[in-house]
Structures are given as C-alpha cells and as structure tokens.
Amino acid sequence: MILELRGIKKSFRNGMKYQSILEDLDIKIYEGDSIAIKGKSGCGKSTLLHILAGLITSDAGEILFKGMNLSQLSEEDQANYRRKNVGYITQNFHLLDDRNVYDNIALPLQYLEFNKIQIKEKVEKVSHDLEIEHIIKRDITTLSGGERQRVAIARAIIKEPAILLADEPTGSLDDKTEESIMEIFKNLNEKGMTLAIVTHDNSVSSYCKQVYELKNKKLYSVIY
Ligand SMILES: Nc1ncnc2c1ncn2[C@@H]1O[C@H](COP(=O)(O)OP(=O)(O)OP(=O)(O)O)[C@@H](O)[C@H]1O
C-alpha cells in the first residue's frame, strides 16, 4: 500500500461557525492504482487532495505513506517527503509568474538538486511529450489557460513522483488534448506511478481503475 488515510476529520471555521467537511474518512491507495474522485461542487474533494498531498493537516486521523505516519515527521521531513514523492497539479496551477516556462518546469528538480545537464534533458523530454516545446521560453503571464495547464502537468510529472495528485487536470483543455494528457498519465501509471484525480468528467474517470464518490463527508467506491 502506498498511501492510507485512517479516520480523517476536517472542518473549517467560517466566521463564528465550524463547517465539517470530512468525517471518519478512510481510503487505501495501492501502488500502481489509478483512482478518480468525484462528487458535488463544494463537497470537499480539493480538501481531501490537499490532505493526501500533506499540504494541510487533518483535525484527526492518520496519513500513512508506505506505512510511515506522516504526522509524526518533522515539518522538514514532511517537506522532503512531498518534494521527493508527490506530484501535485492544483486547480489554479500555481505557476510562478516571474519565471518562464522552462524555469517553472525545472523547479522540482532544482529542489531535488539535479544538475543542469540532467535538468535540461528532463525538461526537453517532458516538454516534447506535452507538446509545449514551442513555448518553453515564454513568460507564464503570456500563456493561454490550456498552455498553463500543460506547463503545470509537466512540472508535476518531471520528477516522476511515486504518486501524482491532480485536481481537475484537464478542465480547460479540448477533447483531443485531454485525451493525449490522459494517455501520458496512463503510461506513467503503467510504469508504476500511482494516480489520484479529482474530476467531474466521465471520460477522465474512465481511464482510472477505481472511481470513488465523496458524499456525506466520506468516500464510497462507485461500481459501474
Ligand atoms: N481554507 C478554507 N477555509 C474555510 N473554508 C474552506 C477552506 N477551504 C475550503 N473550504 C470550504 O470547504 C468546502 C469544501 O471545499 P473544497 O474546495 O474542498 O470542495 P470541492 O469539492 O473541491 O469543490 P469544487 O468541486 O467546487 O472545486 C467548501 O464549502 C469550501 O468553501
């Protein structure tokens, strides 16, 4: 098992009120799994992905990565865990506007202290796969929504993470580009990368081996 959530609870404080989002949520994700997470807008899908990525903490429960309890690690070790193992594509991409496309894609490898030659090789390969070679020197601010999305995907997969978490990764792409991105994810998954995707799109979830619905603060396996 690569990642397990046990008894996760999460609520947010909005003004004077606490809004409970996740309640006693469990999930087991096995190495090489590909899972889609569906559910109504606002039900807590992004919150769940943030918890899986270790970006926010839960109020109760445990997150285990290959049996290791992440909440028992120091902040520095948690950050190292994320850098090495987790690729994350957020809903609004979070690209760095003051750097060009190349530098955005190269960033995770710089954190992992790859040398310049290794970085160049990997950036060239991933930008070829995602068909963004022609925009590699462009400033982020000049890109279209779909181009930004592909840059965010390139940045997330360049380090070949053990687990890729993606929040609506093909949301603003046309059908053909969506299909090519899903083929890339499928290939990476076949090579052993575990995949968890939040999506509303049935054609995206059809690529996944398992589909879950987040409902009433818990995850339910959807059987077609
Ligand atoms: N940092 C926060 N502070 C307060 N409330 C929050 C915070 N983050 C999320 N929420 C609330 O938690 C609920 C779940 O939000 P979340 O973004 O996880 O839903 P979602 O299922 O991903 O929605 P969507 O499909 O619309 O993107 C929403 O009601 C949202 O307003």
Residue range 177-206, pLDDT digits in tens = 888 888 888 988 998 999 999 998 888 899
Tell me what ipTM this predicted complex has: 0.97
Kindly give the confidence (pLDDT) of every residue in the chain, 224 residues in length, as a single tens digit, with 9 standing for 90 and above. Answer: 899 999 999 999 988 899 999 999 999 999 999 999 999 999 999 999 999 988 888 999 999 988 889 888 888 888 888 888 999 998 877 899 999 999 999 999 999 999 999 999 999 999 998 889 999 999 999 998 888 989 999 999 999 999 999 999 887 778 888 888 888 889 889 989 999 999 988 888 999 999 999 999 999 999 76
92 within ligand 1 shell (Cβ under 6 A): no
Ligand 1 pocket, mutate which of 8, 19, 23, 168 (most atoms under 8 A from CB)? 19
Q: Which of 138, 209, 150 shows the shortest CA–CA distance to 184?
A: 150
Q: Which of 128, 87, 142 shows the shortest CA–CA distance to 111?
A: 87
CB 90 within 8 A of CB 169: no
Q: What percent of the chain is modeled with pLDDT above 70?
A: 100
Q: Tell me what pLDDT residue 70 has.
A: 86
Separation in Å, CA 49 to CA 68, 131, 177: 18, 27, 24
Atom 1 of ligand 1, nearest CA residue: 12
Residues 6+ apart with CB under 8 A from 64: 1, 3, 4, 5, 6, 70
- Average pLDDT of the chain is 91
Residues 6+ apart with CB under 8 A from 159: 84, 87, 108, 109, 112
Ligand 1 atom with least separation from CA of 49: 18
Separation in Å, CA 110 to CA 50, 72, 94, 142, 221: 23, 27, 17, 24, 38
